[in-house]
Structure 1
């Protein structure tokens, strides 16, 4: 009709690819006070940037590059393909930290126990905590950006090295408690390997493709170096006493779990047989994480048993002989 003007629409619904927005439009003014946005949280392999692509057998449930610490922390509260990796190391790391802080409730006390015993065992507690917390932190923040992921990966490797060094130092102390020469010799070898592995893990020069085989060889040599003190112990004390001193059955199980976990991780099993079926639960990296924690508990069992046996020996030596 003449003179009748069209009034503005009272409300309108706007939609975007990843956002549902409801706004009110009155007198040509938009009120955003009731705007609610929903953001896509998980992405598929084809939707993430190339730098995030590591395992093509994990097809979905990725947290895409966030460039935000807040968004990385937010990912702790919903399920994605790194959730299990984060929590299988974060929760045990807190347990190791608590055992360090309240070690008097964990470490049994004998008449011959000294502060050195607490220090040696606490070295392992701190090493395990360091390894697990750096690993969980890396898996939480690796989705931030390529730069952060590289830095986190370096710290992840450093944590592994710290765990190996602290584990070997602690068990060597009780294995050679009465032979300082052997203890200091093998501990020095352990420290040299540890420093060398840390350098090749952190220095950009040694992280290039050309140095990959050398890095791998150095880590293998580091692992095999654990055989040397065992052989020396067998020569010096005999097989049976060496097994008792370092609790070889537990130490051997520990080594097997580390190697088996690394094998699963390298073989990408079980996701290799069913791509996409293990995206959130049960893929190789998660299994590796679980086996690392079990291996650390095996070492703790061996360490506490060796500690007990040494103090039994010390008590027998101190007792008067008829």
Structure 2
């Protein structure tokens, strides 16, 4: 009879400092797990299991939505749909990359940081996808073909480099300067979010009159923003586990809630964009100068290649720079036990 032995779990005092999570006391996987152990751990209850599944399952949901849209919309032949094509690809990428990172982050200290470098890069590219659809479908009428409209997506592409660079660099400060690390990482993701939403904030808060497009998408935009702000709050606050360490190790800690709110926010963002896309198509097609497919794919390719170069740079620094020693330290009360693993 075939039996599978699930990997042993550990408590925080048995783990190297680099693996510690605020307010999480138990349920840690071995810090030098094999790839198979990491995969098996997704089917046992650890403090990462819900993190894995709350982004793995939504990946398939967004892929399903992508396939449905591909049957009703002409993504390649109609330039009006190209921004939506980019966005759909990137909202499938970011939850999958996050799920991958949480699955394999316990293979080693090196692997943990590299997995999250990739995760940050995918989130940065998602912000670019948001910029594409906001430029194409959300921009207020009075801003169409303005300087901001023309340079909105290129600036957003540049913002992905800032986001990936800052967030990856923040990991080098995680052990020695954890507060600064958290601030830098928060700023890294708040910055592109605030820029991408400039047209939406103006439209919802400051725009009045016939050219403000107060249609049925507005309610969905407000719902998306509510989840987005809640996502940011959970990421920065580490609530509720900070108030009751050990009580939310397996269910209900902030990173799980952060994942759920992020996915729900993306869902409502997609619904709002589809609503605006359909309602404004005739007017936008007549008044907006859309980019060619070559320009659209060129911006995406530039951002993708640039972010991969940044990730490779930080990975090389992690592997070979003496300055990386502090975030790779493996000293803990359980080290002797781990050496026998």
What TM-score do the two structures reach when normalised by structure 2?
0.70
* Unaligned 5+ runs, structure 1: 1-33, 318-322
Instruction: Identify if the C-alpha distance between structure 1 residues 217 and 59 changes in structure 2 by more than 3 Å, giving closer, same or farther.
Output: closer
SS at match of 1:79: coil
Question: Is 1:47 matched with 2:17?
Answer: no
Pairs aligned (count)? 276
Offset at 1:153? 1.0
Counterpart selection for 1:252 from 222, 242, 245: 222
Structure-to-structure mapping, 1:65-76, within 5 angstroms: 65-76=31-42
Question: Is 1:158 matched with 2:121?
Answer: yes
Please, which moves more after superposition, 258-267 or 292-301?
258-267
Q: 1:249 & 1:258 partners in 2: Cα distance?
A: 14
| Equivalent in the alignment of 1:9 | none
Offset at 1:243? 4.6
Counterpart selection for 2:99 from 120, 136, 156: 136
Q: 1:130 & 1:299 partners in 2: Cα distance?
A: 16
Contact 1:61 1:81 in 2 (8 A): yes
Q: Larger helix proportion, structure 1 or 2?
A: 2
Instruction: Identify if the C-alpha distance between structure 1 residues 268 and 216 changes in structure 2 by more than 3 Å, giving closer, same or farther.
Output: closer
| Equivalent in the alignment of 1:283 | 253
| Equivalent in the alignment of 1:8 | none
Q: 1:152 & 1:145 partners in 2: Cα distance?
A: 10
Counterpart selection for 2:136 from 173, 189, 193: 173
Counterpart selection for 2:162 from 191, 196, 214: 196
| Equivalent in the alignment of 2:331 | none
The RMSD of aligned alpha carbons is 3.4
Question: Is 1:81 matched with 2:81?
Answer: no
Instruction: Identify if the C-alpha distance between structure 1 residues 50 and 117 changes in structure 2 by more than 3 Å, giving closer, same or farther.
Output: same
Q: 2:96 & 2:4 partners in 1: Cα distance?
A: 33
For the pair shown, which has the larger CA radius of gyration, 1 or 2?
A: 1
Offset at 1:51? 1.8
SS at match of 2:220: helix
Question: Is 1:148 matched with 2:105?
Answer: no
| Equivalent in the alignment of 1:90 | 56
Q: 1:76 & 1:272 partners in 2: Cα distance?
A: 24
Contact 2:140 2:212 in 1 (8 A): no
Offset at 1:316? 10
